[in-house]
């Protein structure tokens, strides 16, 4: 599994995030009247990607862990620590390669800020 895939799984597979499923609407009872069958409607266009509240999911994880003193909202290292991943430079280099970072992969602030922004963007958009 890719590093980014592991990040997504760690966030959205976390028990604190999966607390309760969304309620499902019940189907209306069929009417007993005899009505003509309508012509089939054309298939609907695929829905646009839905924004996911990654910040809320991460806040739930932080709260479930006693709100540790981690700056996960701006730090890729702290984000990885929060979800139980190894934030080593080796893993961040691999993540940078995976997400298409073209700068020097030396653990610089520039690389880490880019990684955090890209990870949050991709988690929020579900891509």
In a domain, 52, yes or no: yes
In a domain, 20, yes or no: no
In a domain, 38, yes or no: no
In a domain, 71, yes or no: yes
Q: Domain span at residue 59?
A: 48-127
In a domain, 82, yes or no: yes
- What's the structural domain count of the chain? 1
In a domain, 85, yes or no: yes
DSSP string, 40-93: PPPPPPPPPPPP--HHHHHHHHHHHTT--S--TTT-HHHHHHHTT----HHHHH
Span 14-71, pLDDT tens digits: 777 765 444 344 444 555 555 555 555 555 555 555 567 889 999 999 999 999 999 9
pTM of the model: 0.71
């Amino acid at each position: 599994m890719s590093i980014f895939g592991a990040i997504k799984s760690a966030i959205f597979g976390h028990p604190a995030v999966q607390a309760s499923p969304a309620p499902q609407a019940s189907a209306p009872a069929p009417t007993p009247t005899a009505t003509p069958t309508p012509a089939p409607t054309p298939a609907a266009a695929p829905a646009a990607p839905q924004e996911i509240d990654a910040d809320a999911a991460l806040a739930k994880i932080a709260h479930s862990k006693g709100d540790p003193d981690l700056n996960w909202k701006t730090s890729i290292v702290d984000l990885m620590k929060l979800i139980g991943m190894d934030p080593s430079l080796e893993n961040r280099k691999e993540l940078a390669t995976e997400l298409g970072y073209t700068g020097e992969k030396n653990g610089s602030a520039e690389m880490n800020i880019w990684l955090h922004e890209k990870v949050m963007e991709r988690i929020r958009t579900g891509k």
